[in-house]
Amino acid sequence: MAGLNKVTVDDINVKGKRVLVRCDFNVPLKDGVITNDNRIVAALPTIKKLISDGGKVILCSHLGKPKNGPEDKFSLAPVAARLSELLGKEVKFAKDDEVVGANAKAAVAAMKDGDVVLLENTRFRKEETKNIEDFSKDLASITDVFVMDAFGSAHRAHCSTAGITDYIKETAVGYLMQKEIQYLGNAVEDPVRPFVAILGGAKVADKLNVISNLLEKCDTLIIGGGMAYTFLKAKGCEVGTSLVDLEKVDYCKEMLEKAEKLGKKLLLPVDTTIAASFPDPIDAAIEVSVVDADKIPADKMGLDIGTKTQALFAEAVKSAKTVVWNGPMGVFENPILAKGTIAVAKALADTDATTIIGGGDSAAAVVQLGFADKMSHISTGGGASLEYLEGKVLPGVAVIAEKK
Task: Return the active site residues.
Answer: 39, 203, 360, 383
Q: 5: closest CA among 124, 181, 134?
A: 181
DSSP string, 133-167: HHHHHHHHHT-SEEEE--GGGTTS--TTTTGGGGS
138/62 Cα distance (integer angstroms): 16
Q: 268: closest CA among 329, 350, 336?
A: 329
159/244 Cα distance (integer angstroms): 38
Question: What is the distance of C-alpha 254 from the center of its chain?
Answer: 28
CB 369 within 8 A of CB 345: yes
Q: 195: closest CA among 288, 369, 317?
A: 317
DSSP string, 103-132: HHHHHHHT--TT-EEEE--GGGSTHHHHT-
Backbone φ and ψ for 329, nearest 5 degrees, come out as: -85, -15
Q: 268: closest CA among 252, 247, 246?
A: 252
Q: 101: closest CA among 74, 78, 120, 77?
A: 120
388 Cβ contact list (under 8 Å, min separation 6): 1, 155, 180, 184, 185, 188, 381, 394
Half-sphere exposure of 159 (CA within 13 A, CB side): 26
CB 283 within 8 A of CB 333: yes
Q: Between vectors from CA 98 to CA 93 and to CA 103, what angle results, nearest 5°?
A: 45
214/400 Cα distance (integer angstroms): 26
Q: Between vectors from CA 313 to CA 307 and to CA 317, what angle results, nearest 5°?
A: 140
